[in-house]
C-alpha cells in the first residue's frame, strides 16, 4: 500500500522522497505495510487551526494524528473490506518543528522522521496520557526507530518529552 505525502506549506523546504521512504520503513517495522497512510506537511497556521478544533488548544504543534480505525495500543486494524486498509492521516507541523530545531540545534530531517514515527504510533492506538502509556509508546517508538536505524545507518531516538 502507499504513503500519500502532501506538502501543504511553503515556509520550510521539505525533501518528500526521503521522508516518504522513512515512513514506509517505519510502517513496515510496525507490521502495517499493507495499510495506506496520509502524511501532510503543515504550516503553523494549519496546525494551530487543527489543534484548536480537535484538541481545544489553539496553538501550533509538532504532530497531529487522525486514525481511521480505533484500536488498542499495538493492535493492527482488521478492516472488513480492502477499501478500508488505511491507518489514517498524520499532520506534521514542519514549520513548528523547524523553529524548534533552530532553537535546539537538532537536525531538522532527523526530528521530522522521529515525529512521523510518533504520529504512526498514535495511529495504532498508542497514547501518552499516563506514565504507563508513555512508557509503552516510548518503547514502541524506540523499537521502530531502531529498525529504521539498522536499515539506514542513522541514529534516531524517540522524542524525549517526559511522561506526565
Q: Please tell me the pTM assigned to this model.
A: 0.94
Return the CATH fold of 3-152.
Collagenase (Catalytic Domain) (3.40.390)
Beta bridge partners of 65: 90
Domain layout of the chain by residue ranges: 3-152
Q: Report the alpha-carbon angle 45-48-51, nearest 5.
A: 150
pLDDT attached to residue 83: 84
pLDDT band at 82 (very low <50, low <70, confident <90, very high): confident
Per-residue pLDDT tens over the stretch 124-160:
999 999 999 999 999 999 999 999 999 999 999 997 6
Sheet of 3-7, strands arranged across: 3-7, 36-42, 86-93, 63-67
CA-CA distance, 41 to 4, in Å (whole number)? 11
What digits encode the pLDDT tens for the residues 23-49?
999 999 999 999 999 999 999 999 999
Measured between alpha carbons, how far is 96 from 57 in angstroms, rounded to an integer? 15
**Cα–Cα distance, 94 to 99 (Å, whole number):** 8
Amino acid at each position: 500500500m502507499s504513503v500519500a505525502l502532501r506538502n501543504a506549506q511553503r515556509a520550510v523546504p521539505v525533501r518528500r522522497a526521503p521522508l516518504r521512504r522513512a515512513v514506509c520503513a517505519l510502517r513496515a517495522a510496525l507490521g502495517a505495510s499493507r495499510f495506506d497512510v496520509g502524511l501532510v506537511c503543515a504550516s503553523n497556521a494549519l496546525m494551530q487551526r487543527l489543534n484548536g478544533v480537535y484538541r481545544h488548544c489553539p496553538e501550533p504543534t509538532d504532530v497531529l494524528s487522525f486514525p481511521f480505525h480505533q484500536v488498542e495500543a499495538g493492535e493492527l486494524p482488521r478492516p472488513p473490506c480492502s477499501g478500508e486498509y488505511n491507518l489514517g492521516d498524520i499532520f506534521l507541523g514542519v514549520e513548528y518543528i523547524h523553529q524548534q530545531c533552530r532553537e535546539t540545534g537538532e537536525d531538522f530531517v532527523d526530528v521530522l522522521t522521529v515525529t512521523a514515527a510518533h504520529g504512526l504510533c498514535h495511529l495504532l492506538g498508542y497514547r501518552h496520557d499516563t506514565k504507563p502509556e508513555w512508557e509503552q509508546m516510548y518503547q514502541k517508538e524506540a523499537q521502530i526507530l531502531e529498525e529504521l536505524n539498522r536499515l539506514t545507518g542513522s541514529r534516531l531516538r524517540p522524542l524525549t518529552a517526559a511522561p506526565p
